[in-house]
Structure 1
Amino acid sequence: MKVAVIGAGAVGGTIAALLHRAGHEVEVTARGEHLAAIADRGIRLSGAWGEHVAHVTASERLQGAPDIVFVTTKAHDAAAAVSDAGDLLDGIPVVIVQNGLGGMSVASTANPRARVVGALALFAASYLSPGDVAVTATGSVYLGADAGGAAILAESVLGNVLPVVVTPDFAGALWTKLVVNQINALPAITGMSAQAVIADPGLRRIMTDGMQETVRVALATGVRFAPLQGLSHPILITFGRVPFAVAQLLPLLFARRMGAVPNPGSTLQSIRRGQRTEVDYLNGAVVEAARAAGRAAPVNSALVALVHEVEARGRFLAPAEVFARTGRSGRR
């Protein structure tokens, strides 16, 4: 099958390499040194799902008409990526694999003729260097169900190379993933791995506060969380109410699932590469949802501001600075 991956970074590069290893004809888009490395020597995959060198067709823009497309760009690049592909996407399944809210609607607006399916990648992958990606922790891809059969094709393609779950409530799954994505901001602010952040009691407190705030905002706006990665609506309702001593067990569980390989998170990876982050679509989405409901989201607001500060100044903050800037003590 002809498969295209638009945005072959950590997640997209992993998907492209796995599909190439399974025998699909794969075309990817990338930019700069990453594109040059892929064109020269392929995508070199390593880590938890084994090693493979995927010699794929690579360019800045999609060249051929595929049977299915995976859009794995950052959320703020999705509209341009879909628009750039033009009529090559007309009538075919376009799987939007992104964090945050709004990716599907943006893609549908950019090309109303595409058969858009939402997806969430729960495996952890890192961009090591141009052309090199590594899977640091295995996990499933959650696909939104659709009435037109596009999700069925996506499941059949992806299901042969990694675990796939089809969920009938993709909107609820997005919000559950938004809680999980709270692991991203503090590594981007401090330059530390997610595991190191969670191991620090003070930083773990801030992360836990952000998670609980996200749950409370979601419930205030009528969200029902969909089951994802062992989390569910009843579990998250309880999590949003319990004291920190109990609530901190959730990020500690996330750290255990990540394993020993340092996981930088997608936001820190963007900063290390000098790229714009997705923080406005992660923590920022919580802030916007709270504002629309007439509420405040002070923890998420502070994290958005600090990530943007690191983006602008190119300097990570020490934990003590983070405690001071968020009004929290490092002593717990």
Structure 2
Amino acid sequence: MELLDRKTYYRAFQSHDARFDGRVFVGVTSTGIYCRPICPARAPKFENCRFFASAAAAQEAGFRPCLRCRPEIAPDLAFWRGTANTVSRALALIADGALDDDEAGVEALAERLGVGGRQLRRLFQRHLGASPVAVAQTRRVLFAKQLIHDTRLPMAEVALASGFGSVRRFNETFRSLFGRPPSALRRKTGADTSARDGVTLRLAYRPPYDWPGMLAALAARAAPRTEWIENGVWHRGIELDGKKGTVAVAHMPERNSVMVTIRFPEMKALPAIVAKVRRVFDLGADIATIGSHLARDPKLAPLIAKRPGLRAPGDWERDAPVATVDDRSPPAWRPWNAYAVQHLRMASHG
């Protein structure tokens, strides 16, 4: 499914407008590549552009991800674009590996969500422009691509971490998409390392971000001997399926990102751990839109101006509340209550 307001999106690409990053992707018919709005490459001709609401939609249409602007590190805004609650919950489950078995898992996923498989596919097409399977496959490819670029993990561990059933399938997918083996995408520096040495990834957000406010909120509720903050870095001991590890999250304001270091013995747990970090640090929030809505309240407006970028921390153990539009609600409705409460609590003490 293509986006229809082509002239507006084309102007965003011409000006490299970061406000559209993660909201729209452009497929360039002359190259077969899809890009982010901030891609440093010269803007293609208007007639050669097709615009998509998600990376999965662009990939399903036959385009491959750009190696320069790297769609895999775009801010993940799927939860904050007015998507249906069912789609948002499905995306969270997909991030945890619910569709690692592809089509065979769609019916099981739909059942967990309380809808039929046909209804789930229809909702995904409406809100993301791609099928659930295409979204899951694109997430796997892009996560694998990020691990290839940003870590020194052996390719077998990259395949396992990104949810591919086998190294053979992993290699075939990359050859089909990029015309080369996955190892050809890696920078030729350094030696391969294993997960025991730690996997470090950069996760983007849309600015502003009140990092001191987030750390203060996390410190106030930190579980004893499980979470701690040291020199502006959040640490947590984690346990999944009886195995233990650690996570550390630092702020990189100059790159509008957080740097996450994960030490865990099971590579296949990486996507679930990354999803939890995104949830705890509210990285998917469209904070500018949230702020503009909350600022309409005369009591909240001065607090928002005082603490721009204040976010609602999520819970590591449980899914955080998702501020989205209900499937049956009018598109203009936005329940920003969690953010209003957080602004009132934090800004009044700052």
TM-score scaled to structure 2, two decimals?
Answer: 0.36
Larger helix proportion of the pair: 1
TM-score scaled to structure 1, two decimals?
Answer: 0.37
